[in-house]
Amino acid sequence: MDPQQLRTFVAVVDHCSFSAAAQALGYTQSAVSQHIASLETDLEAPLLTRRPVAPTQAGERLLEHARPLLLRLDAARADVARLRKVRRGRLAVACTPGALTPATTLALVRARTAAPQLKASVQVCGRTEAVQAVLTGAADLALVDGAVAPSDPLPLPDAGPLTAFPVSEEPLAVLLPATHPLAGRPALRLADLAVARWIDAPDAAVPLGQLRAAAQSDGFGHQLTYTGTDIRGLSVLVAAGAGLTTAALPAAGDLLGIAAVPIIEPRIVHRTELLHPRTPTTPAAELVDTLRAAQ
């Protein structure tokens, strides 16, 4: 079970095809076929159905491990590399869209003015990619948001050692069309919204899974899935009545045709956490210290 073969396996699953995976990896189709065959004899179980190519039950099990394993391998390499490469004057931040609240953007801008020669970059992406970016060294820091009980930490995909601490916390709000019957309410209970029509926008808003966990409910069904990180686009859909979503209360002020109603029950907050490697490199380390001191 070597990582090369696992990488091939993942690629085959992603491409639903041996030949396409081969092309993507720069192998011949023959090599891919042999990789899979080798894995299957090694694990003594068929991992893929052929035609259509799809993971079997055993394949699904393997997948659950293969992706984190490969990610962690990259993380290990990046972690060692961080000792050598001192990224002077450059700061890359990966960031989920909801993490750009007034408080966090202010902190970033302040860090830039404190070190004006700093070449900073902000990449907006989904939660998984943000974590991945920090682990593999593509980013120095990540800002990730989510909705949880006030004392709980954000649930993060576990694929390596990362340090996290909260940098800002706001009330969580439901986003409704301004014309919605509930739009005028001063506050709402999450349980009353479990049966509403939601938009599942895992990379642009709070994933519905986090709402379910907070409300301890099986509700929050959705017919519409929104892929991407653009909050404005999501808000247009909400305004048009395609479904509901959530956001930090203050972040919703600039969205047209949208009403943001705070959630008061259960006790839940929108929190942004800063993620960084255990030993961040300068200048990221300084920013981390500054933010931590501000807490």
Partner DNA sequence: CCATGAGTATCAGTATTGCTGATACTCGAT
Partner DNA sequence: ATCGAGTATCAGCAATACTGATACTCATGG
Among residues 2, 14, 254, 289, which is the contact residue for its own copies, using CB under 8 A?
2
Per-residue contact track with its own copies, 45 to 64, x per CB under 8 A?
x-----------xx--xx-x
Beta strands in the chain (DSSP E): 48-49, 54-55, 90-95, 119-124, 141-148, 163-177, 188-189, 198-200, 222-225, 245-248, 258-265, 269-276
27 near DNA (CB under 7 A): yes
Of the pair 17, 229, the CB lying nearest DNA is at 17
CA distances (Å), origin 54, targets 37, 44, 86: 15, 18, 43
C-alpha 127: how far from chain center: 1
Q: Which of DNA, its own copies, none lies near 19, with the C-beta cut-off 5 to 8 A by kind?
A: DNA
Please report, as a single letter, which amino acid is at residue 154: L
Of the pair 11, 239, the CB lying nearest DNA is at 11
| Minimum distance from residue 40 beta carbon to DNA (Å) | 8
289 near its own copies (CB under 8 A): no
| Minimum distance from residue 223 beta carbon to its own copies (Å) | 28
Q: Which of DNA, its own copies, none lies near 101, with the C-beta cut-off 5 to 8 A by kind?
A: none
Please choose, from the candidates 237, 270, 243, the residue with its C-alpha nearest in 3D space to the C-alpha of residue 97. 270
Q: Which of DNA, its own copies, none lies near 270, with the C-beta cut-off 5 to 8 A by kind?
A: none
Question: What residues numbered 132-161 form the site for its own copies, per CB under 8 A?
Answer: 151, 158, 160-161
Of the pair 50, 292, the CB lying nearest DNA is at 50
**Given phi > 0 = left and psi -120 to 50 = alpha, else beta, which region is 43?**
alpha
What are the tokens at 186?
């001063």
| Minimum distance from residue 145 beta carbon to its own copies (Å) | 22
Among residues 16, 37, 54, 80, which is the contact residue for its own copies, using CB under 8 A?
80
Please choose, from the candidates 134, 70, 66, 59, the residue with its C-alpha nearest in 3D space to the C-alpha of residue 96. 134
Per-residue contact track with its own copies, 191 to 230, x per CB under 8 A?
----------------------------------------
Q: Show Cβ contacts of residue 86 under 8 Å, excluding neighbours closer than 6 positions.
A: 281, 282
Of the pair 24, 156, the CB lying nearest DNA is at 24
Q: What angle do CA 244, 248, 252 make, to 5 degrees?
A: 70
87 near its own copies (CB under 8 A): no
Question: What residues numbered 28-47 form the site for its own copies, per CB under 8 A?
Answer: 43-45
How many Å apart are CA 194 and CA 85, to the nearest integer?
A: 49
Of the pair 27, 198, the CB lying nearest DNA is at 27
Q: What is residue 24's DSSP assignment?
A: H
Among residues 1, 24, 34, 166, which is the contact residue for DNA, using CB under 7 A?
34
Among residues 1, 23, 24, 31, which is the contact residue for DNA, using CB under 7 A?
31
Look at residue 176 and give its three-state secondary structure. Answer: strand
C-alpha 61: how far from chain center: 22
Positions in the binding site for DNA (CB under 7 A): 2, 4, 17-19, 26-31, 33-38, 50-51, 53
